[in-house]
Amino acid sequence: MIASLELSFWLTLALAFPAAGFLIRLFIIFHDCGHGSFFKRRKINDAVGIFLGVLTFTPYYAWHRAHAVHHRTVGDLDRRGIGDVWTLTVKEYRNLGFWKRITYRLYRHPLVMFGLGAFFLFLIRNRFGLKAMNRRERINAILTNLGILAIALVVSLTMGIKTYVLIQLPILYLASVAGVWLFYVQHQFDGVHWFHHAQWDYKTLALQGCSFYKLPGLLQWFTGNIGFHHIHHLSPRIPNYKLAACHYENRMFADIQPLTLKTSLQSLRLGLWDEQKQQLVGFKVS
């Protein structure tokens, strides 16, 4: 990419796409390390995860604490708000004032969530929030920020700050948009099931509240098989490189209907949970 800048910035942008794919794959390994699934030993998982947190602009311990809450509460209507996509019921939305409705709809708008919000999350939001962290998380977040700064300074001093910006920002933007999209479509799709806490069950939620996102082979590799999200939620200790085998070797998963690239785009129109219809719906019904 550095060499391509001398030829054409359009070539540099083209190379940013596979580079972003590799960054997404690194994030999946980072994600597995937090679950203690990528390596057998916890210390190795943590060491690699902390290092990858610098490369993926994400503090390891704080992110995984929120992610652990996500696994314990996803699809639970009575325990929303940590590590998930902001989702209201139809009734809750109707009870909002005008400006709060506007705020919610802006949050859910694709141009905001995937165009600006995803990039803001990884570049800016992940740099802050220290007061809400415990001591270990706070130290790790500071060291992650310092590591990102050190890389930026070394590259800027050796190759120029312009070079660093023209290469790093497109990669981070593309990877963050794709990453937020993957997280979104894993729990926001036609046919998803959500439950109140009294009816919420971990295994049921894994099979009915998490998508099987069947991607083309190359995209499946870049995304570390995370499309087999029902398997991941059923057992987070299964490493990404075993998820596909687990799905295809067990008959209990044969009836799960997959999302494809085409059908997943229908998720963009969803915005509210309709408790009467027991499904995600758009804003027109509100």
- Cα separation of 190 and 38, whole Å? 31
Average pLDDT for 162-186: 96
- Cα separation of 215 and 14, whole Å? 21
Percentage of the residues of the chain whose pLDDT score is greater than 70: 99
pLDDT number for residue 12: 96
- Cα separation of 130 and 184, whole Å? 25
Average pLDDT for 95-110: 95
What is the dihedral sign for C-alpha 181, 126, 29, 60?
A: negative
Query: Residues 114-128: pLDDT tens digits?
Result: 989 999 999 999 999
Helix (H) or strand (E) holding 130: none
Query: Residues 227-256: pLDDT tens digits?
Result: 999 999 999 999 999 999 999 999 989 889
* Helix locations, the chain, DSSP H: 9-34, 42-55, 60-73, 90-94, 98-108, 110, 118-123, 135-159, 161-185, 202-208, 217-222, 229-234, 240-248, 261-264
Say if 222 falls within a structural domain: no
Average pLDDT for 196-204: 91
**16 backbone dihedrals φ, ψ, rounded to 5°:** -65, -25
Length of the chain: 286
Average pLDDT for 27-42: 96
Beta strands 272-274; 88-89: pairing state: parallel
**What's the whole-number average pLDDT of the chain?**
94
* Residue 76, beta-bridge partner list: 195
Name the residue among 11, 58, 55 with its Cα closest to residue 34: 58
pLDDT > 70? residue 285: no
Say if 267 falls within a structural domain: no
pLDDT number for residue 284: 83
Give the SS3 label for residue 82: coil
- Cα separation of 283 and 88, whole Å? 11
User: Can you give the residue range of the structural domain that contains 181?
Assistant: 8-192
Report pTM: 0.93
pLDDT number for residue 144: 97
Average pLDDT for 193-209: 91
Average pLDDT for 207-227: 95
pLDDT number for residue 132: 85
The residue ranking higher by pLDDT, 284 or 146, is 146
Average pLDDT for 200-227: 94
Say if 19 falls within a structural domain: yes
pLDDT number for residue 286: 53
Q: What is the number of structural domains in the chain?
A: 1
pLDDT number for residue 181: 96
Say if 209 falls within a structural domain: no
Name the residue among 31, 29, 2 with its Cα closest to residue 171: 2
